[in-house]
Amino acid sequence: MEKIKIGIIICDRYRNCAGGKCFRSVQNREGAFSMYKNQEVEVAAFTTCGGCPGGNIECAPEEMKKNGVTHIHFATGFIVGYPPCPYMDYFEQFITEKYGMKVIFGTHPIPQKYFITHNDLKTWEIPFFKKIIQPAITNEETRLNYD
């Protein structure tokens, strides 16, 4: 079985995050990592975007690619933060076109408390968000485990 090397980029407002939910969800193949259910995965890189408007996005993917990363996950924090990152679609286009890497939105399952708040705020009614939340939406029981 071929090992897939992934890189995780987190929003800089969470720069002190230790990655616990992301690493747990990789191990359990939950949230956006459920796409690797029957594959061997290695987290080969973990960094921040560098702060708005994402200065680290220009160079981090290049370094990740040199180390064998083929899939970049934007952490769930990009989606659930208040407000969600307004640059995600630009980041995806840039990384895909410049580096030919697959970009996935989300890492760990969306915590239930964020799910409720964003539904109440109708944040995710925009077509772009409807699409990108799908890998991390899961079910209520799983979301509660990530609160």
Q: Which residue range is the domain that position 110 belongs to?
A: 3-145
CATH of the domain at 69: 3.40.50
Q: Of 2, 103, 1, 147, nearest to 138 (Cα)?
A: 147
> Looking at residue 11, what is its pLDDT?
96
- Is 80 exceeded by the pLDDT of residue 71? yes
Question: Per the structure, how many domains does the chain have?
Answer: 1
- pTM recorded for the entire structure: 0.94
Which residues lie across from 4 on neighbouring strands?
41
- Is 90 exceeded by the pLDDT of residue 2? no
Residues 107 and 31: beta-carbon distance below 8 Å: yes
Residues 9 and 76: beta-carbon distance below 8 Å: no
Mean pLDDT for the stretch of residues 3-14: 96
Q: Of 9, 142, 112, nearest to 64 (Cα)?
A: 9
